[in-house]
Amino acid sequence: MKLFPNLDKRHYLLLAGWVLINVLQAVFTNLHADEAYYWMYSLNLDWGFFDHPPMTALLVFLGDSLMHNEFGVRLLVLVLSTLTMSMIMNELNEQKDMLFLVVFILSFPLVHSHIAGFLAIPDSPLVFFTLLFYLLYKRFVEKPTLQLSVLMAFVAAAMIYSKYHAFLALGFVVLSNLKLLKNKYFWLTIGITLILLLPHVLWQVANEYPSLKYHLYSRSKPVRFWTVHNNLTSQLLVAGPITGLIVFYSLFKFRSGGDLFRRMMIFSILGFYIFFFIMSFKNRIEAHYTTVITPLLMFATYPVISSTPNLKKWFKRIAIPVVVLLFAVRFYLAADFLPNYGETKISFYKHHEWTSEVKRMAGGKAVASFNNFDIPGTYLFYSGDPAVHLAMPGYRFCQYDMWDEERAVEGDSVFVIIPERMDNKNLIQLKNGKKYRLLLIPEFQSLKHLEVAYNDVHVSNDSMKMTITLTNNAEHAVQFLHPSSPQIGITHSKAVELTATPLLEITGMQSLEQGKQVSFAYSFPLNLIDRKQPVLIFTQTIDRNRGEMAALRISDYTSD
């Protein structure tokens, strides 16, 4: 039995050309900032990570173990992306107009990166496993079998281990065909999937559900209509710049005709668009969040466009320049010898040069960076030396907060680079074009294990009053009389920092011994804050490196 029965020599030649392009791109393009972050995952394999499940980390680990370079990091993703492209071509089943087939597929920008491209990111395995699940489901609704149900379970688990968007994909499949809930083979699929996911669930429980808290709560914002507009625009663009209009016009002509697979396609496409449209009122929606339905969008619209002469003619006329432009952008990203105009390719640009520059300036001291979750991985990959992740209280949490790498430089002299967006005074420009302020911390002290808790909260004369308790869970005393000058303060979404007070001043203590606690009265005026937003109570050093934090909802203690 042929793996791809609708593909012949012509298709395989096209695939071979696509593989060659992606291999060259992977070899000559520096790691993207996100890829460097996932490479750090691969050095610390686990059943889960703060932002994502572990599939990408595993793929990067396996490839990097074979060859430690950019191509090695991307190797297995390239394999999956090639298989994804093969499944798309097989399903479209074009046997005559090969040029239009290629132009149509490549007119979707995310094909070049997230769907069947070269980047080692979670979307690539997610799209591969989700598309494979869709195609297995197509066979399942025709004739459910034990073998298919088991295979679907392993693929469903792989989807979820790739990215949590898989839950949406699976949910819309079920919604499109509720009779699945009466099918014993489908329940077998669910049971096996849950068993396969058990290690990840246990990891989430052991780490107090960091991914759940981050994706469902931490990223939520007040209603912002610019995010709605941004989502609508970006979804049109990822369906194809300009050609997206033809794609969506053709989508309106697509009908299920009573076919369960085609019904699933409608539910999945509309489901993803509607879900993220609603979410866009509270969050900024990245264009690639709907990546998994792009193959379905192709399956639904290709027959309409290819069989309508006028649509096909105009699609081809518009898409060919777009495809040429997309390949020009890919070349530009790989070409370090071309200037980085307007920071277009800043995430890929001159990594060898700027990391060597920082290493030379550090002069053997430990290196750290502020508010950049990508820099430690990029610095280690290209310089061979580690870099510590530091962050101020208002910066997003990430995997580095779970790894607690600050312990490695406790008491050391640390060379720190601070991004321009955090501090725009006395900047220098590195060879990648980014501007930073340089800082030397002579005696680094981490506050990561100084636990913050509060009680006895009440409002008095438009002030919020409470008792703060600090517990030292570190393996040594935390010094309050110290060059790092530890502080207690508050912040929320409208400001980086509202107020901060030295712990030496507020406690009257020079240090807090290991395992000891100190409690003190703390207050802040309510006119400083937006009462609808949670307040974060934090510890930080004088250099604004955060320690532990505790969230406080003002609305829980006030009547308005």
pLDDT score at 345: 75
pLDDT score at 1: 60
Quick check: 496 pLDDT over 80? no
pLDDT-based confidence at 505, cuts 50/70/90? very high
pLDDT-based confidence at 377, cuts 50/70/90? very high
Out of 215-229, 359-373, 441-455, 532-546, which region has the weakest mean confidence (pLDDT)? 215-229
Average pLDDT over residues 335-363: 86
Q: Supply 61's token pair.
A: 């680990």
Quick check: 461 pLDDT over 80? no
**Cα–Cα dist 194/167, whole Å:** 12
More confident residue, 165 or 335: 165
pLDDT in tens, 7-31: 999 999 999 999 999 999 999 999 9
pLDDT in tens, 275-286: 988 888 877 888
Report domain extents, the chain: 9-332, 350-441, 450-556
Q: How many separate helices (H) and strands (E) can be counted in the chain?
A: 19, 14
Average pLDDT over residues 304-309: 93
pLDDT in tens, 515-543: 999 999 998 887 777 777 778 889 999 99
More confident residue, 494 or 429: 429
Average pLDDT over residues 198-226: 78
* Residue 418 near residue 439, CB atoms below 8 Å: yes
Name the one residue in this structure whose structure tokens are 């239009």: 100
Quick check: 220 pLDDT over 60? no
Picking from 80, 66, 90, the residue whose alpha carbon sits closest to that of residue 126 is 80
Quick check: 80 pLDDT over 80? yes
More confident residue, 332 or 196: 196
* Residue 19 near residue 78, CB atoms below 8 Å: yes
Q: Supply 274's token pair.
A: 């509607």
* Residue 246 near residue 314, CB atoms below 8 Å: yes
Mean pLDDT of the chain: 90
Name the one residue in this structure whose structure tokens are 């506050």: 447
Distance of CA 298 to the CA centre of its chain: 25
pLDDT score at 236: 83
Distance of CA 416 to the CA centre of its chain: 25
**Cα–Cα dist 170/225, whole Å:** 29
Quick check: 490 pLDDT over 80? yes
Quick check: 221 pLDDT over 70? no
Average pLDDT over residues 468-476: 92
Average pLDDT over residues 508-513: 92
Put the strands of the sheet holding 366-370 in their side by side order: 387-390, 366-370, 414-419, 435-441, 427-429
- Concatenating the DSSP letter of every residue in 150-198 gives HHHHHHHHHHHHH-TTHHHHHHHHHHH-GGGGG-HHHHHHHHHHHHHHH
* Residue 123 near residue 238, CB atoms below 8 Å: no
Quick check: 43 pLDDT over 90? yes
Average pLDDT over residues 200-213: 88
Out of 189-203, 337-351, 457-471, 485-499, which region has the weakest mean confidence (pLDDT)? 485-499
Picking from 240, 249, 275, 80, the residue whose alpha carbon sits closest to that of residue 159 is 80
Full 3-state SS string of 21-44: HHHHHHHHCCCCHHHHHHHHHHHC
Q: Which CATH architecture has domain 450-556?
A: Sandwich (2.60)
Quick check: 288 pLDDT over 70? yes
Tell me how far CA of residue 324 lies from CA of 103, 106, 107, 112, 555, in angstroms.
10, 10, 9, 12, 54
Beta-bridge partner residues of 367: 387, 415
Q: Supply 450's token pair.
A: 């100084």
Average pLDDT over residues 34-59: 95
Distance of CA 279 to the CA centre of its chain: 16
Buried b (16+ CB within 10 A) or exposed e, 46-82: ebbbbbbbbbbbbbbbebbeeeeebbbbbbbbbebbb
Residues 6+ apart with CB under 8 A from 141: 177, 260, 261
pLDDT-based confidence at 425, cuts 50/70/90? confident
**Cα–Cα dist 170/267, whole Å:** 11
**Cα–Cα dist 130/385, whole Å:** 37
pLDDT score at 294: 95
pLDDT in tens, 311-339: 999 999 999 999 999 999 899 888 888 88
Picking from 25, 209, 229, the residue whose alpha carbon sits closest to that of residue 117 is 25
Dihedral sign (CA 334, 86, 13, 95): negative
pLDDT over 70 percentage in the chain: 96
Beta strands 535-540 and 517-525, pairing class: unpaired
**Cα–Cα dist 360/375, whole Å:** 16
